[in-house]
């Protein structure tokens, strides 16, 4: 069974508790929180107060993707909410090693997110310091984008780099994930799959999540 992480960004914010409870009852493995600051990415999504409200209802592990500048100011606060997986962008961290260590010390698993245009080779010095790598298969900041061609190859390359480094981290993929590409992404080396519109915009979201999970 695949680990599906439905992205709350695609939920109906007028019925947020309902949608989080739907994820609780579904075959999803995680709940994905897209945190955007309007600076690192063009849009603003939500922050700590909404995340805290989600945490009160969520029964699945929460996964916070911090698309923000100065993530080191916030990782401990997200971890304090009970967020178990926190990813920060290699493009925005001034001291990535320190931020990864800070995340782990706060009690969360530490991930490195990497944008489509960023060379995967930049990950090499940090692979043994991370618990997972979040490969963006769309440009961050918007939901509902199309999957970027070349993302499969990037996932496969990151998998090879992890093996070559002798690192112990897994690969999460975010952006345009659906039934049309999830098997290929899994074969390339991904083990966690963020699903936004493929989950929440489906006629039957729970059935869509089950299908993505391979049930």
The one catalytic residue in 12, 131, 174, 204 is 174
105 pLDDT above the threshold of 70? yes
* 148 band by pLDDT with thresholds 50, 70 and 90: confident
171 pLDDT above the threshold of 90? yes
The DSSP string of 63-130 is EEEEESS-GGGTHHHHHHTT--EEEEETTT-SSHHHHHHHHHHTTSEEEEEE-TTS-GGGGGGGGGG-
Average of per-residue pLDDT values in the chain = 96
> Lowest-pLDDT range, 35-44, 119-128, 144-153, 164-173?
144-153
Q: Is 34 a catalytic residue?
A: yes
The total of other beta-carbon atoms located within 10 Å of residue 191's CB is 15
Q: Is 174 a catalytic residue?
A: yes
144 pLDDT above the threshold of 70? no
Report d(CA 125, CA 108) in Å as an integer.
Answer: 21
CA distances 118 to 37, 46, 83, 138, Å, are: 20, 25, 26, 12
Q: What is this structure's pTM? A: 0.95
141 pLDDT above the threshold of 70? no
The one catalytic residue in 19, 34, 37, 131 is 34
Q: Domains of the chain, with CATH numbers?
A: 3-213 (3.20.20.70)
33 pLDDT above the threshold of 70? yes
* 142 band by pLDDT with thresholds 50, 70 and 90: low
């Amino acid at each position: 069974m695949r680990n599906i992480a439905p992205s709350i960004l695609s939920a109906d914010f007028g019925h947020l508790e309902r949608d989080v409870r739907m994820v609780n009852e579904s075959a999803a493995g995680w709940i994905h929180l897209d945190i955007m600051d309007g600076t690192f990415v063009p849009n603003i999504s939500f922050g700590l107060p909404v995340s805290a409200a989600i945490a009160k209802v969520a029964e699945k592990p929460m996964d916070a993707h911090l698309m923000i500048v100065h993530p080191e100011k916030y990782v401990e606060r997200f971890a304090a909410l009970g967020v178990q997986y926190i990813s920060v962008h290699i493009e925005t961290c001034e001291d990535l090693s320190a931020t990864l260590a800070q995340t782990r010390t706060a009690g969360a698993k530490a991930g490195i997110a990497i944008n489509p245009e960023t060379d995967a080779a930049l990950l090499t010095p940090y692979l043994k310091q991370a618990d997972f790598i979040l490969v963006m298969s769309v440009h961050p900041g918007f939901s509902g984008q199309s999957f970027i061609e070349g993302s499969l190859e990037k996932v496969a390359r990151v998998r090879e780099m992890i093996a070559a480094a002798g690192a112990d981290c897994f690969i999460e993929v975010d952006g345009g994930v659906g039934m049309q590409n999830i098997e290929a992404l899994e074969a390339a080396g991904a083990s966690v799959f963020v699903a936004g519109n493929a989950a929440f915009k489906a006629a039957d979201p729970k059935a869509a999540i089950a299908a993505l999970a391979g049930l």
